[in-house]
Amino acid sequence: MTTARSIGALALTLALAASTAAAQFPTTPPPAAPLKPTKLPPLHETTLPNGVRLVVVESHKLPVIALTLGMRAGDFTDPAGKEGLAQLTATLLGKGAGSRTAEQVSAAIEGAGGSLGAGTSADALTVNASALSDKAALAFELLGDAVARPTFDQKEVDLAKTQTLSSLQLQNSQPSTVAQRVFNRELYGTTAYAKSATPASVGAITRDDILGFYASRVKPRGAVLVVSGDIDLPTATRLANAALKGWTGAPAAVPALGAPRKRTKTEIVLVHRPSSVQANVIVGAPTFAGTDPRTYALLVANRVLGGGSASRLFRILREEKSWTYGSYSSFSWNRGVGAFGATVEARNAVVDSALVELLAQLRRLRTEPIPATEFAGARDAIVGSFPLAVETAQQLGGTIARARLLGFPADYVSMYRTRVAAITPARAQAVAKQVIDPDAALVVVVGDATVLRDRLAKIAPVRVVRPDGQPVAESDLAGPKAGSGIDVSKLVAAHDSFAVLVQGNPFGSSVRTVEKTADGVRISERSVLGPIMSQNTDVVIGTDGAMKSVAQRGTVQGMETKIDAAYAGGRVKGAATTVSQAGPRSVSYDTTVVAGTIDDNAVTTVIPTLAWSLNATFTLPVFASGEGVARTVTLKVTGKQSVTVPAGTFDAYLVEMSGGPVPVNIYVTTAAPYRVVKTAPVGPPIELVLVK
Amino acid sequence: MARSIRTRSAPSLLRPLVAALLAALPATALPAQKPARLPLDNYTLPNGLQVILAEDHTAPVVAVDVTYHVGSRDESPGRTGFAHLFEHMMFQGSAHVKKGEHMAMLEAAGSAGYNGSTIEDRTNYYEPLPSNRLNLGLWLEADRMRSLAVTDENFSNQREAVKEERRLRVDNQPYTKILYEEGYKAIDSAGCYPYSHSIIGSMDDLNAATTADVQQFFKLYYAPNNATLVVTGDFQPAEAKKLIAQYFGDIPRAPTPPAVSCQPRYDAGARRERVQDTKATLPAVMKYYTIPAYDSPDYPALELLGTIVGRGASSRLNRSLAREQKVALTSQTFVNLFGPRRGPGAFVVFAIANKGIAIDTVEARLDDQIAKLAGGITDEELARAKSSWRASAIRERSQAVTLAAAIQRANLFLGDPNSLDADFDRYAAVTADDVKRVAAKYLHPENSYTFIDSAEAK
């Protein structure tokens, strides 16, 4: 029943409800208040007498300070063959400087509640220090000693090299690092930004190289020192001048950066990582210098595509498709040409789908106009979040240091938001079109090639490589299978004498003769090891490179040994008696072997027939005729060095042979015809050195 | 700056005595630099939601941090990985926020570095924002606390994302199999299941989780009376309080979640295990020693011990194993890998062998260093560790979002957000004898679990 009175009561109730509604939970997001201006702490600048530009970001909120000293001496300045030199020099700056040893430096800075470190990027070498502000003078002094008075003690050089080599090995276990490294090398080709350290290039660096690099590149002119935190300009200037006293001069001219070639079609470089359960994917292309005016437009386009968790890649590949934990895109800001890259990590079963979708999203950015709301969201994200990027004095100091080293003008920080806010959807798309092209992209995939290769090949041509960039042999992708035998044409007649050294003392000899006969090659080896052992071995290889026979007669500590093995028609038949620590042991066998199998007594004979180079790896199917077992032996070049033996001094590759009973280091001349100049098992103090 | 420095002066009669004492003390005992006292406004809404405000107008930014007092320790057998899986669900939308909109709204508002994280004891959600969008951060947190969208579709999607996360962090990385998973075995599971299983959970348990489980979990643990809201940075307190009351005030409270039971032991015996790792290229050794909860009086000494033994270039492990003996590429300590705990934790000593060095050699040298602690530590080492601790405690106040996390830590693990200030005195009071004592008490073989990572990758 509706009466005038009840209507009045209802109206009153409604009015009350309306008035309390203001205090209830709103069903739509609350509106934004006006954005506040970025509030920056005072910035002060001056140039020190030695040419260092000093910038002070003054903030007394907390009793801490941070220092960053940077100069244009990044990895791009590494000399060819000595990649890793800039990084190694940086690492050593604080490892013994002024009157302090490395131990004293680290104890001093950590006692001040801080740290001291140095490193390199593609463009710059930077030294960083931090401390509680009542220890500001000490932080300046340690940073000054590091750049102006490093000692580069030989012991520290050796340690840093050892640790760098182990780090390179460790990096090989981290798929994202491998992906980034291969991407860089493939993208930048032969230009300066392609440089990356390898075991061989680090191994080749000497203390003199480091002294030379330091003397020519670690110089104050053109360097920037940014000091942030609880300090003022006069104090910073006084402390910097005192700390950098005696550090003067200008750096040598830097090498040209060059521009990488643009691809004309998409190629997939598949880095084989056996047993990977997931694959890391990077799709990218070269861009332009960081200071290029197009940078701001690319920033917004990238945000639309993959710059955040609200961007297309994350939304589609993770939130819609459940293919990945994360998919993003970004681009590097370099002094020279930068790189754009979109990434996804996906389980093996969906890698191909994820890549196809990622490429489709790159295409969509080129072909479809960016919807207005989506564009505004991307642009506002960058403009709005800027205060968070420079919230602390240390963050602002870091931003300024990076901008100065990249060559940005002084108004970079103050104008950043204005420049981003000025970008239009059309401009963002136009720049994206210049850079991002799914039909001319570099795709790097790190994963198990035995699982992924055929599926990826349906998307674009695939090249399978190892983490170091070298091609992968077919045999590695299908497990050990047929080898190709021995290239007999590369076996030349020779007569080599070796001395056997035990703990450096001559203990015996070994003479090897290679002679060509009508039906192939005969290799004879006569070895005598003091009174302990003597052994004659004859190996015959056919003209087609296939093993024919092995015959060995000898005595070991008075006990007779012998091997007789015949290879034919994919089988080996034979018998052997050998002596081990447990006493004599006899075996007989008649078994199949894969084509191209080499008898283990002939492995060193094969060496001259292989195509040696730095980073070369060969995998050989081997039959140990003394034990009657098949093995897979790997010969891997791990470095290059000068080796002195009685026959002379040779430039030689260090080849690590593994897969046999003990690992063996073999030194092979770098020039053809390749000769073995020294052989040493890892562990026992025994060496075979070439006499003539 | 809103903060004022309040100094308490000693009564006048005592002043000469204080001055004399100060003069008599060596220079190192002078009061160490510490930040200004942090004024906090700590109150509780009628529905049980604890609110802590810390105002600071240095930069035009704010941070919102909602910490739910639930983590992997609340999981039961067969349900491992659930707390973390649930964290993912919190980004999937709620009554007034469609799927995908949560992140889109935050990013368009200029939030950067927003996220959630799950550890043994808590799950937190935080968003740094430009200060004009505090209202959005609070609104989004309130909407998901009151009305999370738990649908089959969202759930199966996030379960897949978590499985990818597991592959990314654990199954496809070197060493993480031990750090993320096997290492939990060091805590005796018979007496303390809550801290003896991993946060990331097993694939089987993740597969077995159902949408109904998720709904149940939400009802039980994601209630205002099981959470703390911290707001830091550039806001006006009256306005913030009004918004908080309006957005969170009428969310109903839930029954108190079941208590967690744990009887830690520190003498479970010397255990060891070899873990096959097809992703590692260099072998490693990790030794786990069980240690007490964060609020234990022994904890500050243990944390300083961790620094002295294995954090920083001047630490004992770096000086001996990496530099002098050259057996380790890196060697360091972790005192609880993912953060503090309200139950037993792990003091982890970790070393990766240098290329060509046998892992047995590395382990022997590591044991030498642990044994040497019986001889005590030097005053210089202690002073250095305290400086490092102090500097990091100061630095975590430099950003609104890290300050918010620090307040939550003090509040949850020490039971009082003001203990953030009091900690400066707690750590300053640790003596060299304290450090020697805790080393002897916890770092002994009968309280250890050794893992050898086999490094099988080529």
CB-CB: which of B388, B390, B398 is closest to A394?
B398
Q: Give yes or no for A392 touching B (CB within 8 A).
A: yes
A39 touches chain B (CB under 8 A): yes
| Separation of alpha carbons B441 and A153, rounded Å | 40
User: Residues 257-276, chain A: which have Cβ within 8 Å of B?
Assistant: 274-276
In this predicted model, what pLDDT tens digit does every residue of B234-281 receive, in sequence order?
Answer: 999 999 999 999 999 999 999 999 999 999 999 999 999 999 888 888
Is A456's pLDDT higher than 50? yes
The length of chain B, given as a count of residues: 458
3-state secondary structure A265-332: CCEEEEEECCCCCEEEEEEEEECCCCCCCCHHHHHHHHHHHCCCCCCHHHHHHHHHCCCEEEEEEEEC
Q: How confident is the model at residue B439 (pLDDT cuts 50, 70, 90)?
A: very high
pLDDT attached to residue A21: 41
Q: Which residue of B1, B61, B236 to mutate against A (max A Cβ within 10 Å)?
A: B61
Q: What is the pLDDT of residues A603-643, one digit of tens each?
A: 877 888 888 887 777 777 788 888 887 777 778 888 888 88
CA-nearest of A248, A224, A262 to A340 is A262
**pLDDT tens per residue, range A46-93:** 999 999 999 999 999 999 999 999 999 999 999 999 999 999 999 999
**Residue B107 touches chain A, beta carbons under 8 Å:** yes
In this model, does residue B21 exceed pLDDT 70? no
A62–B35 CB contact, under 8 Å: yes
Label residue A149 exposed, middle or buried (CB < 10 Å: 0-12, 13-18, 19+).
middle
Query: For the residues A420-437, what does the mean pLDDT come to?
Result: 96
pLDDT in tens, B336-362: 999 999 999 999 999 999 888 999 999
A176 contact B CB<8A: no
* Mean pLDDT rounded to a whole number for chain A: 88
Which residues 251-280 on chain B approach chain A with CB closer than 8 angstroms? 278-280
Searching chain A, which residue's CA lies closest to the CA of residue B170?
Answer: A277
B334 has a pLDDT exceeding 90: yes
Mutation pick from A276, A385, A394 vs chain B, by most beta carbons of B within 10 Å, is A385
Nearest to A36 among B60, B106, B142 (CB): B60
DSSP annotation of A370 reads P
* Each residue's pLDDT tens digit, B281-301: 899 999 999 999 999 999 999
A326 to chain B: which residues are within 8 Å by CB? 168
CA dist B63 → B60, B101, B407 (Å): 11, 20, 12
Interface of B with A in 28-57 (CB under 8 A): 33-35
- Judge whether residue B45 has pLDDT over 60: yes
Q: Is the Cβ pair B312, A381 closer than 8 Å? A: no
pLDDT score, position A522: 86
CB contact under 8 A, B168 and A389: no
Confidence at residue A582, expressed as pLDDT on a 0 to 100 scale: 62
Whether the per-residue pLDDT at A108 is higher than 70: the answer is yes
Which of A534-548, A580-594, B130-144, B363-377 bottoms out in mean pLDDT, i.e. has the lowest? A580-594
- Domains recognised in chain B with CATH numbers: 41-248 (3.30.830.10), 271-453 (3.30.830.10)
Identity of the residue in A30, A110, A170 whose CB atom sits nearest the CB atom of B136:
A30
Strand-pairing partners, residue B53, are: B41, B231
Residue of A nearest to B98 (CA): A28
- Is the Cβ pair A169, B355 closer than 8 Å? yes
Which of A34, A103, A318 minimises the CB distance to B161? A318
With 70 as the cut, is the pLDDT of residue B144 above it? yes
Asked if A310 lies within 8 A of B111 by C-beta distance, the reply is no
pLDDT given for residue B7 in this prediction: 25
Q: Are A639 and A203 within 8 A, CB to CB?
A: yes
ipTM exceeds 0.85:
no
Per mean pLDDT, which of B95-99, B151-155, B156-160, B288-292 is the most reliable? B288-292
- For A62, which of B136, B171, B394 is closest by C-beta distance? B394
Is the per-residue pLDDT at A692 higher than 90?
no
Residues of B in contact with A113 (CB under 8 A): 387-388, 390-392, 394
**Kind of pairing, strands A462-465 and A267-272?**
parallel
Size of interface A-B (CB pairs under 8 A): 243
In whole angstroms, give the CA distance from residue B306 to residue B289.
12
Residue A387 is nearest to which of B61, B161, B171, comparing CB atoms? B61
B301 touches chain A (CB under 8 A): no
Query: In this predicted model, what pLDDT tens digit does every residue of A230-263 receive, in sequence order?
Result: 999 999 999 999 999 999 999 999 999 988 988 9
- Return the top range by mean pLDDT from A681-690, B177-186, B378-387: B378-387
Q: What band does B100 get if pLDDT is binned at 50, 70 and 90?
A: confident
Task: Reply yes or no on whether the pLDDT at B37 is more than 70.
Answer: yes
CATH 3.30.830.10, domain A267-472, yes or no: yes
- In this prediction, residues A658-678 reach a mean pLDDT of 82
Q: pLDDT digit string (tens) for A501-518?
A: 877 777 888 888 888 887
pLDDT at A513: 86
Write down the domain spans for chain A.
43-243, 267-472, 488-690
Q: Does A175 touch chain B (CB under 8 A)?
A: yes
Candidate from A238-247, A683-692, B127-136 with smallest mean pLDDT: A683-692
Which 3-state string (H, E, C) describes B66-123?
EEECCCHHHCCCCCCCHHHHHHHHCCCCECCECCCHHHHHHHHCCCCCCEEEECCCCE
The predicted model gives B25-40 an average pLDDT of 63
Give residue A152's pLDDT: 98
Provide the pairing of β-strand A442-447 with A494-502: unpaired
Interface check for B236 against chain A (CB to CB < 8 A): the answer is no
B1 pLDDT above the threshold of 70: no
Are B40 and B53 in contact, with CB atoms under 8 Å apart? yes
Q: Check residue A684 and give its pLDDT.
A: 65
Assigned token pair, A556? 């070991």
Element (H, E) at B401: helix B400-414
Q: Can you tell me the mean pLDDT for A390-400? A: 94
pLDDT reported for residue B25: 35
From chain B, the residues in CB contact with A323 under 8 A are 160, 164
Q: Peptide bond preceding A673: is omega within 30 degrees of 0, i.e. cis?
A: yes
Topology of the domain covering A43-243: Cytochrome Bc1 Complex; Chain A, domain 1 (3.30.830)
- The mean predicted confidence, pLDDT, of chain B is 89
- Section A649-671 average pLDDT: 83
Regarding predicted confidence, which is higher, A557 or B45? B45
Q: What is d(CA B385, CA B297) in angstroms, rounded to the nearest whole number? A: 18
Least confident of A467-481, B185-199, B385-399: A467-481
pLDDT in the model for residue A22: 46
Cβ of B326 within 8 Å of Cβ of A159? The answer is yes
- Residue B23 is predicted with a pLDDT of 34
Q: Which of A63, A278, A377 sits opposite B172 (nearest CB)?
A: A278
Question: Across the interface, which of B111, B157, B278 has its CB nearest the CB of A275?
Answer: B278
